Amino acid sequence: MRFFILGATEAHDADGRPIPLGGPRVRALLTALALRADRPGPVPVDSLIADIWADDPTAAGPCLF
């Protein structure tokens, strides 16, 4: 699988076919995770919330995960 995060966020399978990613929040989540792919361990939830809902973190709400 390959991720493209410069410009429009895209993912392609091993054969190069595009994979549907969903809406803008899912794309933002994949981008945030891809940018941290070289770091060991899990990504803290508060970091993801800050990255994805930077304009209004309360919009994530308790049902985020």
What is the average pLDDT score of the chain?
84
Provide the pLDDT for residue 64. 52
pLDDT tens digits for range 16-50: 999 999 888 888 888 999 899 899 999 998 888 88
Q: What's the CA gap between 13 and 28, in Å, rounded?
A: 19
Q: Strand, helix or coil at 18?
A: strand
pLDDT band at 52 (very low <50, low <70, confident <90, very high): confident
